[in-house]
Each structure stands twice: as C-alpha cells, then as structure tokens.
Amino acid sequence: MLASKTRKGTRTAHFSLGLICLTTLVLVTGDVSATPHSLKARFQSELDRIVAQYELPGATAAYTLADGTTVAVAAGLADVATEQPMQPDSRMLAASIGKTFVGAVMLSLDQEGRLDLDDHLSLWLGDKPWFSRLPNHDAITLRQLLRHESGLPDHVKIAAFPSAWQQRRQDGDTPFEPEELIAFVLDQSPLFPAGDAWSYSDTGYLLLGLVIEAASGCTYYATVTDRFLTPLGLEATRPQDHLELPGLATGYVSQDNELGLPPATTRSPGVLAWHPGLEWTGGGLVSNSGDLARWAWVLFSGRGLQEPYLEELLQGRPIDTHPNGPRYGLGVGIHPQGLLGPTWGHGGWIPGYVSNLRYYPDRGIAVAFQVNTDIGMIGSADRIGEDMETRLARIVLSFENDED
C-alpha cells in the first residue's frame, strides 16, 4: 500500500540524473591542473597552520570552484601510532552531513509522486505496533521531521542510551536496528506541539529512513547510492554499515569520554573498533573532503535533481528567535548572515571525527573539511571548527585570477 502511493502522479519510475550530470562529472572528477597553483598552495598552507596551531592529529580540506573544479589537500597524520600521513583522499565518518542526502532523497521521491512532504507520518508508519507511543504521533508531517520541528526528543540525548550502547558493544557489537533506537523516545513527552518550535532530533531522521524505504521499495542505502552517490561519481562516499572501511583515518576521542569508547577509533588500518551502523539515516556515510565539497556544489547550485528544487530545499524553520538568524531547511543549515556572507550546508560529529561543508551562494563555491579528532571540537568548545571554517573559506573566496 505505502510503496504504491501516487497521489501526485509518478513522473519517472527510476530517478536518473541523465545527461545533465555528464558535464558535472567531467568538471568534478577531471584533471585539476588548470586550477591556479597559488590558490591550492595558499589553501594547503592555511590547513597546515591550523593543524599545527590546534595540535590536531590530522585534517583534510577541499574546495569546489564555481566551474565545478575540485581540489583537496591534507595535513598531519591519519594514524598517530604508525605516523601514517593524512592523504587528500583519506576517508572519515561524515556523521550528520548524511542528513543532506536524506533531504535530497526525500525531495526526489516527492518530485516523482511517491510521497508528499506534507504527508502525515501516520500515513506511512501508522501501522507500526509502536506508532501510537511516539510523541506527537498523530500530528507530525514529513516536512516537520526534515526541518527538526516535530517536537520529538533525540534518542542520543536520552539518559539510557550511552549505557545501552556500551552494553551492545560488550555483547558482540551488532548495530542497533532503527526501530530499536526509536524505542528510546517512545512514551516520552513531546518537547513541544509539532510545528511550534525547533529542536534537533536524529530520531526524526530515522523515521524518515523508514518512510524512504516504504516509498521507494528499496533499502535506504541502495536508494541513496543509486540516486546520488553513483551518478555523481562520489566514489569515496559509501554506507558505513560495516566495520571495515578502506582508507579510513584513525579518529581520536578523549580518554574519559562518556560513551566508554577506546581513545582510538580503529583497531587495525581501516577497521573500526566499534560498529558505526547505529547512525543510519541520522548520518551513516563515510566520505572524504573532496566528495563533500563536490556534493555541496552539486546540491546547492541546483544541479542535484532534474526539476527545480532549491526553493523548497531552503524553506527553513528559524532555529532561534533572532530575525535574521540561522534556519534549518530540508536537511540543510541556512545562515543568511555569515561572517563571509550567506552559507548553506551542514556539520557532522561522531566520536573521533568532525566534518563540515559549506556552500557560498554569492560566489557558487563550496568548501569542506574533516578532522580526525573530536577533542575540543564539539559543544560550546567548538571554536576550532568555526575558526577552520572561516579561515579556509576566506582563502578561496578572496582568490581572484591569480597566476600560477
């Protein structure tokens, strides 16, 4: 019943970027020798300075220019114990940046008539035995879930979650199933009536994952791979649904982290010490900075789908009460008045890794970075990430026709 819903009329049976993406693929993955060396050199030098200044183990960063050319650089170490240098193509867990892909998948399904973003969640998941125990279950829409205005608590912040994850790791480290994670918020009081305010909820994105699978008839990972990762040539970006992730840099967390995780995220090269599968549609992708910059450029320049979508993608919910403050759209953070102008993008944190992507619409330029530690980079102490974002973007945005 759910997978056959066609109220809008199905425009296409299988999404394909088709010929419109061939130029993008050439620009994105082709030879970057035409990129002025002075820009790449300055970008590299700035990343080197940042890594040294903040004593980071390592980092990668990339930019995509308005013509689609992408350049990636690296600094520091991918593994401190073995002194393995970080490489431009080193991979890290991208965490909540995965929500930008969820938003894009939902938009594509909406355009095909497989679902409507203003559908009530009950239309899709109302037959689940636990559905009536979900806070605001009878009022939540898909759009509200995408914009974090559902009033749902976040299972990650539920007091029982850290100890449950530790126990799961001790019992064999199989990942939580999405409905097991959703169960943490069942019977909880809603934070507010659906649509009345804003509060970030990974749980809401897990619910969207279930909707995507019902509407598409495929797993989420197959859907995002077929619709975006493969057509766009994002070869480093893949599901983090298993322990072995080739090319993964080792991440580092504090010794006394509240989740009881080991201080290094890998137990051997490219093999995680804990299963990353619990993120799923809350994040759920391993990537590198080059892919993230390319993805931001494709998505936010309007090249990601065959039909116009930016207006809907960027219809955001205010995050605070400031009249010109940040908003959250369909899996995207919108900053109308950033230090270097307006930006669209997302950040991501998972133990041991911090990622960031930003698109500067006034210039058509995207900048992304990843760091293989979260020490000093999350919560109120995130001055390092903010400084990196500003300094790296300033290098690219200030570049004007330099010669080699």
Amino acid letter for position 43: F
State yes or no: pLDDT of 404 exceeds 90: no
In whole angstroms, what is the distance from residue 221 CA to residue 117 CA? 20
CA distance 1 to 72: 46
Q: Is 362 exposed, middle or buried (0-12, 13-18, 19+ CB in 10 A)?
A: exposed
φ/ψ bin of 147: left (φ > 0), alpha (ψ from -120 to 50), beta (otherwise): alpha
Q: E strand or H helix at 328, and its extent?
A: strand 327-328
Note the pLDDT tens digit of each residue in 117-143.
Answer: 999 999 999 999 999 999 999 999 999
Residue 22, CB-side half-sphere exposure with 13 Å CA sphere: 2
pLDDT beyond 70 at 336: yes
Q: Which amino acid type is present at position 332?
A: V
- What backbone torsions phi and psi does residue 264 show, to the nearest 5 degrees? -110, 135
What's the one-letter identity of residue 347? G
pTM here? 0.90
The pLDDT assigned to 331 comes to: 98
Instruction: Say yes or no to pLDDT of 29 above 70.
Output: no
- The predicted pLDDT at position 380 comes to 53
Contact 156, 163 (CB under 8 A): no
pLDDT bucket at 7, cuts 50 / 70 / 90: very low
Report the pLDDT averaged over residues 324-334: 96
Sorted by where each starts, the structural domains of the chain and their CATH numbers stand as: 38-113+219-397 (3.40.710.10)
The average confidence (pLDDT) of the chain is: 90
d(CA 109, CA 6): 10
How far from chain centre, in Å, is Cα 380? 20
pLDDT score for 150 = 98
In whole angstroms, what is the distance from residue 63 CA to residue 253 CA?
27
The pLDDT of 348-368, averaged and rounded, is 97
pLDDT of residue 213: 98
Residue 64 is inside which H or E element, if any?
strand 58-64
Q: Strand 353-360 and strand 365-371: pairing?
A: antiparallel
* pLDDT higher at 157 or 18: 157
**Range in 120-129, 165-174, 283-292, 389-398 the model is least confident about:** 165-174
Confidence (pLDDT) at 18: 29
DSSP-based three-state secondary structure for 347: strand
Tokens (6 digits) for 111: 């355009």
